[in-house]
DNA sequence: CCACCGCCGAAAGTATCTTTCAAAGGTGAC
DNA sequence: GTCACCTTTGAAAGATACTTTCGGCGGTGG
């Protein structure tokens, strides 16, 4: 049973290297050269035309085609396609290399891959660690809140702003504060039925804890979004939403991954609140979208 | 005429679906049909010849080739090769996760899972579609810039602030502007050796384009971070960094995924610049870290 | 040394891809 | 409304890449 390699068998997907080894003994010298080149550098060969591969191996087009046939493909065109697939596969298989820390001399492409990978990891961790009960409670409070205050400083301040912008768009009365004094000034206005949200990665940023404490003392419902569920900020929080903490390094400060994590939590809050208040949120969203349409140049293309 | 948005970048390997989404708005109807078919069934299309794909989509060979060109390939042949690679990848990848859209009645846990998945997808698409040549050029300009201006409005404004904060931390003179008037006022101060960065998802936000144009006219190096590499903003951009565009829906506005995408680009810029200027950046980072330590309560528990 | 056999590549032949060009379709101005 | 202009589109010509044919070359056994 040494024939029928090429008979009923469909073209090989990724078992190409193995097939080359199996069939090598039954090949002629020139064909072996071609097969060797193909098995050795699938990606490179996929970029070559028949003529190119013939020249590279010092053979002729006819030989290349014959080799492709022997390997089970209708012609070189199909071998080339399979080669491209193989190349892509072992390309993606090389992915775990990016788990290493970012080094000073990493090439740009590596930095991009590593950062993307790390942030993806952060998202997965955050989603896995998020307490849906706490989230649900916070959402319920927000959906019916008379007024919402959000406190955040530094990098977390931007996250606070983001949440504030989003909530405004669905018709809620929300305001983000980055100025500690103004934050406290506003916090004293809060009372039962209002919601205060503090965002701090460390959980111990005094300038953010203080307004939350004031809001808490005045009877508002308080929420903390923090990476330290045991930090000082949680003393004054009715509901705690935990963000994940990724390993940090010199080229990847903690602020980077904490921001990613915080934003996911914020998006969850926003989306769930939108669900809850869909009747009023949907038209509000549509209206804000409409209002911005005029700010763009007419000719988008 | 005005092709090659992606500059010297080689054809995309797996960023095809993202690229289709990014470029779809700038495509004509027939081309969209082709792009849709390609994105919808890579494996199936890889098996077709130009003529076959043209018939399948009810268009002509010429249109198919044009679409391939627009997607960044020299011709259909190469698109087909990439398609085969993509098919092989997702064959081995097997990622049929929670791809469904977010519904109004989804339970909280589902919302969290879907949001996290979508954002992860956005990150992957962005990383795959990012032109490292353009990124490198932008980084080089930033690393030696005398002064850096960043323009962004609305949701993109927060991203601009984030980048500004980061660059300040490594000792660069950077400032983010959200006020269009102030932005223009600052832009006229720029000259050769300075860098201006505009961040706009739509690529057509007049309030952001205007300061960039002014900076461009004054000889500054200009960078655009946008989801529309063919938008008006790119007229005045020396370097274009493309963010990915995810499918959007009522419960998942475009602003959400564009922000995720933009932030990844910003992180890449920051990290690469830090690498480049490590000698001065490292001590600056350490100093800013040190300065903030006092702002946290001593007892983190 | 000669005859035979199978491998090999040049060149002709064919399929596939690319370019050109003119007509159809749409858009804005008047 | 309709005219002029620009964009989009597909048919067909042209170029390229792939396949087949066929004769020569080298090895092997008599």
Q: Domain holding A244: CATH number?
A: 3.40.50.10490
Which of B88, B91, B295 is closest, CB to CB, to A207? B295
**According to the model, what pLDDT value does residue B243 have?**
92
The residue among B86 and A1 whose pLDDT is bigger is B86
- Considering the domain architecture, whether residues B161 and B283 belong to the same structural domain is answered as yes
Q: Kind of pairing, strands B174-177 and B221-226?
A: unpaired
Q: Is there a single domain that holds both residue A85 and residue A118?
A: no
What residues contact B129, with CB distance under 8 A and at least 6 apart? Answer: B12, B15, B18, B19, B22, B242, B244
> Does any domain span residue B66?
yes
Contacts 24+ apart (CB under 8 A), B162-165: B162/A155, B162/A158, B162/A259, B162/B263, B162/B266, B163/B197, B163/B199, B163/B266, B163/B269, B163/B270, B165/A154, B165/A155, B165/A158
- Among the ranges given (A7-21, A228-242, A260-274, B157-171), the one the predictor scored with the smallest mean pLDDT: A7-21
Nearest to A295 among B85, B206, B231 (CB): B206
DSSP conformational letter for A205: B
Burial class (CB in 10 A: 0-12, 13-18, 19+), B192: exposed
Q: For the residues B232-238, what does the mean pLDDT come to?
A: 90
Q: How many domains does chain B have?
A: 2
Query: Closest Cα of chain A to B119: distance in Å?
Result: 8
Sign of CA dihedral B25, B29, B34, B37: positive
Do residues B225 and B162 share a domain? yes
Please report which confidence band the pLDDT of residue A250 belongs to, taking 50, 70 and 90 as the band edges: low
Mean pLDDT, to the nearest integer, of A68-73? 89
Residues of A in contact with B124 (CB under 8 A): 116, 120
Pick the range with the lowest mean pLDDT from B122-131, B189-198, B241-250: B241-250
Q: Which of A52-56, A200-204, A251-255, B260-264 ranks highest by mean pLDDT?
A: B260-264
Q: Above 90 in pLDDT, residue B140?
A: yes
Q: How open is the CA angle A287-A292-A298, to the nearest 5 degrees?
A: 125
Written as six digits, the tokens of A77 are 């065109």
Give the residue from chain A lying closest to B284, CA to CA: A250
Give per-residue burial for B57-74: e unless 16+ CB within 10 Å, then b.
bebeeebbbbbbbbbbbe
Q: For residue B94, what pLDDT band results from cuts at 50, 70 and 90?
A: low
- List A residues 139-168 in contact with B (Cβ-Cβ < 8 A): 139, 154-155, 158, 161-162, 165
* pLDDT tens-digit readout, A158-211: 999 999 999 999 989 999 999 999 999 999 999 888 999 999 998 888 899 999
Is B267's CB within 8 Å of A256's CB?
yes
A93, A126, A152 — which closes off a domain?
A: A93
Structure confidence at residue B39 (pLDDT): 87
- pLDDT band with cut points at 50, 70 and 90 for residue B196: very high
Please compute the mean of the pLDDT values over residues B185-192 and round it to a whole number.
93
Question: Which residue's entry shows tokens 């072992």?
Answer: A90
Distance of CA A103 to the CA centre of its chain: 21
Q: Is A280 within 8 Å of chain B by CB?
A: no
A247, A217 contact by CB (below 8 A):
no
- Same structural domain, B136 and B36: no
B250 contacts in chain A (CB < 8 Å)? 282, 285
A159 burial class (0-12, 13-18, 19+ CB within 10 angstroms)? buried
Specify the pLDDT at position A241: 94
In a domain, B107, yes or no: no
Q: Tell me if A2 is assigned to some domain.
A: no
- Percent of the residues in chain B that have a pLDDT greater than 90, as a whole number: 50
B199 in a structural domain? yes
**Helix H or strand E encompassing A197:** strand A195-200
User: Is any atom of nucleic acid chain D found less than 7 Å from the CB of residue B62?
Assistant: yes
d(CA A55, C1' C2) / Å? 35
B238, part of any domain: yes
- C-alpha to C-alpha distance for B291 and B274, rounded to whole angstroms: 19
Q: Same structural domain for residues A197 and A274?
A: yes
Query: How far apart (Å, rounded) are the C-alpha atoms in residues B131 and B242?
Result: 8
Tokens standing for residue B25:
């708005």
C-alpha triplet A113, A117, A122: angle, nearest 5°: 150
Q: Is B300 in CB contact (< 8 Å) with chain A?
A: yes
Is A175 found in the same domain as A42? no
User: Which tokens in the block code for residue B154?
Assistant: 């609305």
* Mean pLDDT, range B203-223, rounded to an integer: 92
Q: With contacts defined as CB-CB under 8 Å, which chain B residues touch A170?
A: none
Minimum-distance CB partner of B85 among A88, A108, A116: A88
Tell me the average pLDDT across A58-80.
91
Residue A256, in any domain of the structure: yes
- Please report, rounded to whole angstroms, the spatial distance between the CA atom of protein residue B20 and the C1' atom of nucleotide C21: 29
Which pLDDT belongs to residue B93?
57
Place of tokens 């933009």: B262
Same domain, B85 and B175: no
- Its domain, for residue B248, covers 132-291
pLDDT value, residue A179: 92
- Measure Cα distances from A215 to A189, A228, B254 in Å: 8, 20, 33
Which domain CATH number covers B58? 1.10.10.10
* pLDDT at site B19: 82
Three-state DSSP class for B239?
Answer: strand
From residue B28, how far is each of A301, B6, B111 by CA, in Å? 10, 19, 35
In a domain? residue A223:
yes
Residue B16 has pLDDT above 90, yes or no: no
A243 touches chain B (CB under 8 A): no
The gap between the terminal CA atoms of chain B, to the nearest Å, is 64
- Per-residue pLDDT for B8 more than 70? no
* CB contact (8 A) between residue A282 and residue B250: yes
- The confidence band for A14, taking pLDDT boundaries of 50, 70 and 90, is low
Of the candidates A33, A66, A93, which is a domain's last residue?
A93
* Model pTM above 0.75: yes
Q: What DSSP character marks residue A233? A: G
Query: Does B119 map to a domain?
Result: no
- The C-alpha atoms of residue A272 and residue A170 are separated, in whole angstroms, by 12
Asked if A278's CB is within 8 angstroms of B139's CB, the reply is: no
> Is A168 found in the same domain as A236?
yes
Of A276, A81, A271, nearest to B44 (Cα)? A81
- Which residue, among B273, B265, B26, has the nearest Cα to B152 in the 3D structure? B265
Q: Which of residues 24-43 of B touch strand D (CB under 7 A)?
A: 28-31
> Do B11 and B148 share a structural domain?
no
d(CA A153, CA A161): 10
- Number of Cβ atoms within 10 Å of the Cβ of B8: 9
Which window residues (44-83, chain B) lie with Cβ within 7 Å of strand C? 49-51, 61-62, 65-66, 68, 74-78, 80
Chain A residues touching B105 at Cβ < 8 A: 275
Q: Mean pLDDT over residues B49-61, rounded?
A: 92
pLDDT value of position B5: 40
Residue after which a domain boundary falls, among A30, A59, A93: A93
Residues A88 and A150 in one domain: no
A142 and A46 inside one domain? no
On whether the CB atoms of residues A234 and A226 are closer than 8 A, the answer is: yes
Give yes or no for a contact between A269 and A163, defined as CB atoms under 8 angstroms apart: yes
Estimate the share of chain B in helix, then strand, then coil, as percent rounded to the nearest 5.
60, 10, 30
Contact A232 B93 (CB under 8 A): no
Residues A134 and A218 in one domain: yes
Residue B147, burial from CB neighbour count under 10 angstroms (0-12, 13-18, 19+): middle
What phi-psi label fits residue B193: left (phi over 0), alpha (psi between -120 and 50 degrees) or beta?
left
């Amino acid at each position: 049973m040494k024939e029928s390699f090429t008979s009923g068998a469909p073209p090989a997907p990724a078992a190409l290297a193995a097939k080359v080894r199996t069939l090598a003994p039954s090949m002629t010298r020139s064909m072996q050269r071609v097969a060797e080149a193909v098995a050795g550098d699938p990606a490179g060969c996929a970029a070559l035309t028949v003529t190119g591969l013939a020249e590279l191996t010092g053979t002729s087009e006819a030989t290349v085609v014959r080799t492709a046939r022997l390997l089970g493909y209708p012609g070189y065109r199909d071998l080339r396609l399979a080669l491209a697939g193989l190349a892509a596969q072992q390309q993606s298989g090389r992915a775990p290399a990016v788990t290493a820390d970012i080094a000073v001399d990493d090439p740009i492409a590596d930095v991009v891959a590593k950062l993307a990978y790390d942030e993806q990891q952060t998202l997965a961790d955050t989603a896995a660690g998020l307490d849906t009960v706490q989230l649900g409670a916070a959402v319920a409070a927000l959906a019916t809140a008379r007024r919402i205050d959000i406190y955040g400083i530094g990098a977390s301040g931007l996250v606070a702003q983001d949440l504030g912008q989003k909530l405004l768009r669905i018709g809620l009365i929300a305001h983000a504060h980055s100025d500690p004094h103004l934050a406290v000034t506003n916090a004293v206005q809060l009372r039962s039925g209002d919601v205060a949200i503090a965002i701090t990665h460390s959980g111990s940023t005094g300038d953010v804890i203080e307004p939350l404490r004031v809001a808490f003392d005045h009877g508002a419902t308080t929420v903390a979004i923090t990476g330290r569920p045991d930090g000082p900020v949680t003393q004054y929080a009715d509901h705690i939403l935990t963000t994940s903490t990724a390993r940090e390094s010199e080229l990847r400060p903690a602020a980077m991954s904490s921001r990613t994590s915080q934003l996911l939590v914020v998006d969850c809050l926003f989306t769930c609140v939108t669900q809850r208040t869909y009747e009023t949120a949907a038209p509000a969203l549509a209206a804000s979208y409409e209002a911005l349409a005029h700010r763009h140049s007419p000719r988008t293309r």
